[in-house]
Amino acid sequence: MNTQTMPCPKCGADSPFRLRPDTQHYGEIRCPVHGHAWIPKPSEQKTARRKVGKEFFEFAPEDMRDFCWTCLRTRELLKSLQPMVTLQAHHIFEKKHGGIDHRDNVQIVCGECHAAVHRLREQVNRYESISGIAPLNQHPRLTESE
C-alpha cells in the first residue's frame, strides 16, 4: 500500500496517510493527536449513487410492505427505535452486477439489515469469484412478462 503524509483535518499536523482502495473510503490518516480517521474520496472520484425510490415498494406484495424481510421487525417498531430505522427497498442482485428492476429482484429490509447485507458482500466478494452464471438480465424468471 502507498504510504505518504497529509495534514490532519482537525489540527493540521502532518500525519501518516495511506490510500485504501480496498475500502469505500479514499484513505486513512493516523494523527498523533486525534488518532485514526477515514478520508473520503475526492469529489471527482466519487460515483453517482441512484437512490431506490418508494416505487420499488410496489414490487412487494401489499401485505409484506410493513416489516423487514430479514429481521421481521415491523415498521412501527423500527420507528420507535432511537435513532429511528427505516424500511428500504433492496436489490437482491445489484444493478452493477446485472440485477434488474423486477419484483423478483427486490426485497424490503430495514436500514440495519440493508447495511449488514452490503458489509457481508464486501467481505465475501462473491460476485467476482462466481463464474459460469448466466447474466441475471437473461434469467427466465426475471424476464417473463406478466
Q: Give the other-Cβ count within 10 Å of 107's Cβ.
A: 21
CA dist 85 and 75 (Å) reads 9
Cα–Cα separations (whole angstroms), residue 81 to 41, 77, 85, 119: 31, 7, 7, 22
Q: What is the pLDDT of residue 143?
A: 52
- Which of 38 and 67 is assigned the larger pLDDT? 67
Q: Would the pTM count as exceeding 0.85?
A: no
pLDDT per position as a tens digit, 85-115: 999 888 888 877 777 878 788 889 999 999 9
